[in-house]
């Protein structure tokens, strides 16, 4: 990639990501929702916002982007009692599961990090679960650790036995991005080697929406579209995001899967400008310009802005802030904007899944990373009538249609800015750059078949993992087999229910994974105690003194193989994102018997449904 001639700080690599939103349980589903222009927003089921009272505001329909299974959690996986899980804020539960998935996405075995100085920075906005408890008049000792917001970060550090900084911060809707800025600063200062950044939003009580409707923040129609002439407030969304960050030199050294680079992060408060609950274009322009200077690029080098874009009067202010940043940045005067057609294309995830409040900025980062990976700036769904005055013949354009944005043949880096604005005036901006091109794997292909170990806590989980991995390998650009094998050997926790596949070609690996997913035998699939296992492993005896064979046998017997010694060759391939998050076994956990209904059960917020 061609970089600017200045000497910016060392980039920070995004090496792992995980998310959960309305209509999407993982990154693959989320990208499908963005790329397809879907809106997973629907009617709030009765009882979900218990005590909702908008006062004199006429609410035609309370709508939001809601998770299908807010009460669901795999408590036994995290060694938490059912009672403690029931009294724990769903935000805690979501962040535990997403932290695990982010580590898997990075190909990192959590056990290898036990006792390490890994930092955890978590954004927080509110605890509506605690509000719901107060409304019910119920209390339990487990609610002490279950509802204090400090445990949003501290419980993650505790579970993984991480010894770095662990803190929860609240800057309103910019909390997640403020947490990211702290993590980036600490990583560059060498205060810790690895950082988990996260935030979650769960909506289960009527107090906040009652106040927000009365205060004019929420859309009374529930159909507000950002940057549209039909905007009347924001629509809430539910979900969570986790990112795993590491300085780029160390990420490349360690063979981590680099998904994108963070060139700069900047935070600031508006002061008195913009009012107590707003922001102003000048403050936004200063923030964007400062981030660009830190990154060593002109503002015009951005090709895409993932906007805060809430569907309020702030949308026009945000567009004005970007234009002002371009005007005030001297370098941008002679630079063509970095996006397709010489434009900076503006989009927002809130039109798809609602405003995730504390997690909104981090979701914007995830969307930006996926856009770079897939070479597409998704359209803003529902934007068929742009708010007058937002579009002119300048370099700022709204993504009212999908905009292809493939990697350039010249290697010029594509860059994205992400805005996140807090209700109280604390704002953040992050500049991302596409990941550096992967090095060639041609010289890393070993002779003979490769070993692909898989495991789960149950047989059902094992079959689901096999099916998900087969689908990942069936995509147009599957990862190299050597990296898949290495990642499965070194980047996954070994669970008790195990299987092993021996293969040296993609078609046969996919066929064996399909057989495992469908609970069928296959000549390349070995299961503990299976009569065909010796024949499957026989090809592993040659060439290395039987090290691969012995490691495979030990795996099937429930042991911990020394995969490093058994690897066929001296060169270790980089790990890859396999996009196969562990299928947690959810059971409902709620502090009383009034478990909120799944939106799908009401027929009013179906997964992936398009609501306009």
Are 397 and 366 in contact by the 8 Å Cβ rule? The answer is no
Q: Which of 304, 355, 429, 611 is catalytic?
A: 355
Are 116 and 194 in contact by the 8 Å Cβ rule? The answer is yes
* Cα–Cα distance for residue pair 125/105, rounded to 1 Å: 26
Are 259 and 15 in contact by the 8 Å Cβ rule? The answer is yes
Are 65 and 353 in contact by the 8 Å Cβ rule? The answer is yes
> At 63, which helix (H) or strand (E)?
strand 63-65
In b/e form, how buried is each residue of 58-85, taking b as 16+ CB within 10 angstroms? ebeebbbbbbbbbbbbbbebbebeeebb
Is residue 586 among the annotated active site residues? no
Q: Is 19 helix (H, G, I), strand (E, B) or coil?
A: strand
Are 143 and 591 in contact by the 8 Å Cβ rule? The answer is yes
* Cα–Cα distance for residue pair 302/88, rounded to 1 Å: 41
* Cα–Cα distance for residue pair 407/303, rounded to 1 Å: 12
Q: H helices of 257-410, where?
A: 281-295, 314-328, 350-353, 360-374
Q: Which of 101, 231, 304, 308 is catalytic?
A: 308
Is residue 173 among the annotated active site residues? yes
Q: What is the dihedral of CA 147, 364, 99, 261, to 10 degrees?
A: -140
Q: Tell me which DSSP letter residue 384 carries.
A: S
* Cα–Cα distance for residue pair 450/376, rounded to 1 Å: 34
* Cα–Cα distance for residue pair 524/532, rounded to 1 Å: 9
Q: Is 611 helix (H, G, I), strand (E, B) or coil?
A: coil
Are 130 and 89 in contact by the 8 Å Cβ rule? The answer is yes
Q: How many CB atoms lie within 10 A of CB 277?
A: 14
Instruction: At 460, give phi and psi (nearest 5°).
Output: -60, -45
Is residue 308 among the annotated active site residues? yes
Enzyme catalytic residues: 173, 308, 355
């Amino acid at each position: 990639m061609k970089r600017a001639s200045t000497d910016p700080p060392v980039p920070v690599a995004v090496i792992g990501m995980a998310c959960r939103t309305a209509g999407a349980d993982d990154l693959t589903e989320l990208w499908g929702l963005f790329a397809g222009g879907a809106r997973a927003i629907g009617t709030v089921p009765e009882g979900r916002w218990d005590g909702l009272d908008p006062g004199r505001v006429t609410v035609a329909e309370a709508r939001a982007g809601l998770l299908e299974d807010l009460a669901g959690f795999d408590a036994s996986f995290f060694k938490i009692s059912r009672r403690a899980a029931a009294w724990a804020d769903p935000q805690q539960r979501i962040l535990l599961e997403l932290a695990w998935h982010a580590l898997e996405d990075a190909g990192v075995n959590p056990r290898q990090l036990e006792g390490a100085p890994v930092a955890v920075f978590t954004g927080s906005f509110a605890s509506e679960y605690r509000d719901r408890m107060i409304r019910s008049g119920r209390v339990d000792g487990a609610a002490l650790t279950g509802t204090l917001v400090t445990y949003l970060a501290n419980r993650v550090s505790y579970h993984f036995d991480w010894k770095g900084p662990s803190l929860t911060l609240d800057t309103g809707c910019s909390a997640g991005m403020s947490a990211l800025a702290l993590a980036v600063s600490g990583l560059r200062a060498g205060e810790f080697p690895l950082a988990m950044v996260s935030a979650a939003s769960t909506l289960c009580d009527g107090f906040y929406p009652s106040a927000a409707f009365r205060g004019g923040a929420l859309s009374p129609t529930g159909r507000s579209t950002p940057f549209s002439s039909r905007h009347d407030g924001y629509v809430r969304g539910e979900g969570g995001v986790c990112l795993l960050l590491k300085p780029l030199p160390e990420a490349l050294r360690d063979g981590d899967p680099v998904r994108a680079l963070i060139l700069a992060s900047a935070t600031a408060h508006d002061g008195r400008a913009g009012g107590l609950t707003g922001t102003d274009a000048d403050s936004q322009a200063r923030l964007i310009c400062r981030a660009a200077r830190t990154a060593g690029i002109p503002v015009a080098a951005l090709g895409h802005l993932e906007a805060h874009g809430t569907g309020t009067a702030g949308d026009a202010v945000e567009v004005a802030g970007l234009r002002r940043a371009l005007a005030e940045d001297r370098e941008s005067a002679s630079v063509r904007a970095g996006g397709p057609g010489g434009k900076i294309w503006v989009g927002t995830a809130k039109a798809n899944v609602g405003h995730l409040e504390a997690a909104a900025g981090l979701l914007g980062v995830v969307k930006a990373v996926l856009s770079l990976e897939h070479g597409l700036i998704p359209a803003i769904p529902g934007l068929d009538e742009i708010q007058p005055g937002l579009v002119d013949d300048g370099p700022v354009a709204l993504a009212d249609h999908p905009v292809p944005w493939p990697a350039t043949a010249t290697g010029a880096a594509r860059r994205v800015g992400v805005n996140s604005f807090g209700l109280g005036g604390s704002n953040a901006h992050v500049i991302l750059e596409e990941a550096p091109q992967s090095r060639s794997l041609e010289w890393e292909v070993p002779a003979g078949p490769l070993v692909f170990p898989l495991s789960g806590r149950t047989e059902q989980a094992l079959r689901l993992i096999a099916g998900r991995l087969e689908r990942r390998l069936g995509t147009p650009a599957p990862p190299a087999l050597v990296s898949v094998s290495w990642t499965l050997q070194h980047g996954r926790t070994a669970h008790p229910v195990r299987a092993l596949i021996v293969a040296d070609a993609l078609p046969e690996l996919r066929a064996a994974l399909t057989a495992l997913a469908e609970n069928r035998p296959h000549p390349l699939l070995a299961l503990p105690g299976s009569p065909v296992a010796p024949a499957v492993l026989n090809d592993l005896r040659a060439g290395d003194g039987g090290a691969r064979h012995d490691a495979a046998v030990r795996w099937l017997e429930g042991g911990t193989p020394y995969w490093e010694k058994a690897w066929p060759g001296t060169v270790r391939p980089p790990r890859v994102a396999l996009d196969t998050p562990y299928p947690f076994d959810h059971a409902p956990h709620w502090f009383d018997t009034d478990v909120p209904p799944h939106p799908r059960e009401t027929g009013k917020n179906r997964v992936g449904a398009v609501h306009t």
